[in-house]
């Protein structure tokens, strides 16, 4: 656990100094939301119906950009090659990188929820507590898959294009179940109604994390 926390702290210190990932992800998310809100128009019914999709479309594309850039920064500076030389298991390296990426995605989700509440649907702000479970659990599975596939594509020339092509189909089950949970939350259903989607998301999270820990060793081999 201490090693994982050290890896997370290292990534957070780098991001605090450069602010490259959070700034670029937030800017892409904001621009996407502006375009989507203009497409929905002024109809409250259309805005309410499109809100779950707008949340995840924005998060998915902005987070994919951030995941690709996160791996690219370490590849350019040879930082990851140095970490591979340390006496730390590959599964621990995966968990540390995944945890750091997850924190960035969670910050992005907070920015997106606030922006959607202001630009599109005020109910998102009022029901932020109910939205936390499907969004956070969805972020865990999405980030775990993105961390593994990001490490796989980082050495390719087309990594910014290849990562979304690979990640979005793999993470589609997580996105679909999370969308279902968001819809239930926005409809004002009781908290018990979120138990089903939350269990499915937790199962997907465990699957992606276990697969990531197992496959990461083979992905990072020269």
Residue 115 reports pLDDT greater than 80: yes
pTM: 0.89
Q: For residue range 198-222, list pLDDT tens digits in order.
A: 999 999 999 999 999 888 888 777 5
Both tokens of 142, joined, read 């999405």
Domains in the chain: boundaries? 2-219
With residue 155 as reference, give the H or E element that holds it. Answer: none
Residue 175 reports pLDDT greater than 90: yes
E-strand ranges in the chain read none
Which letter, b or e, does each residue of 100-109 get, where b requires 16 or more Cβ atoms within 10 Å of its Cβ?
bbbbbbbbbb
Q: What is the pLDDT of residue 80?
A: 66
Q: For residue range 179-196, list pLDDT tens digits in order.
A: 999 998 888 777 778 888
Q: What is the pLDDT of residue 179?
A: 92
Q: How far is CA 4 from CA 33, 66, 67, 90, 140, in A?
A: 34, 20, 18, 11, 16
Instruction: Determine the Cα–Cα distance for residues 85 and 2; give it in Å rounded to an integer.
Output: 18
Q: What torsion, rounded to 10 degrees, do the Cα atoms 116, 122, 124, 130 define?
A: 160
Q: For residue range 42-60, list pLDDT tens digits in order.
A: 677 777 788 888 899 899 9
């Amino acid at each position: 656990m201490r090693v994982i926390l050290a890896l997370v702290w290292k990534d957070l210190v780098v991001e605090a100094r450069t602010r490259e990932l959070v700034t670029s992800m937030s800017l892409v998310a904001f621009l996407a939301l502006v375009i989507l809100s203009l497409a929905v128009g002024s109809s409250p019914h259309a805005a309410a119906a499109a809100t779950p999709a707008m949340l995840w479309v924005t998060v998915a594309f902005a987070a994919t950009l951030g995941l690709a850039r996160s791996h690219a920064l370490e590849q350019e500076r040879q930082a990851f090659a140095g970490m591979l030389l340390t006496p730390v298991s590959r599964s621990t390296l995966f968990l540390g990188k995944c945890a750091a990426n997850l924190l960035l995605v969670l910050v992005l989700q907070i920015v997106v929820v606030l922006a959607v509440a202001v630009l599109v649907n005020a109910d998102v702000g009022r029901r932020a507590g109910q939205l936390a479970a499907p969004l956070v659990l969805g972020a865990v599975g999405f980030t775990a898959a993105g961390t593994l596939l990001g490490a796989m594509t980082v050495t390719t020339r087309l990594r910014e294009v290849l990562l979304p092509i690979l990640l979005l189909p793999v993470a589609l089950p997580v996105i679909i179940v999370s969308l279902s949970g968001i819809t239930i939350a926005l409809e004002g259903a009781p908290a018990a109604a979120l138990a089903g989607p939350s269990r499915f998301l937790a199962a997907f999270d465990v699957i992606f994390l276990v697969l990531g820990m197992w496959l990461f060793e083979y992905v990072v081999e020269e």
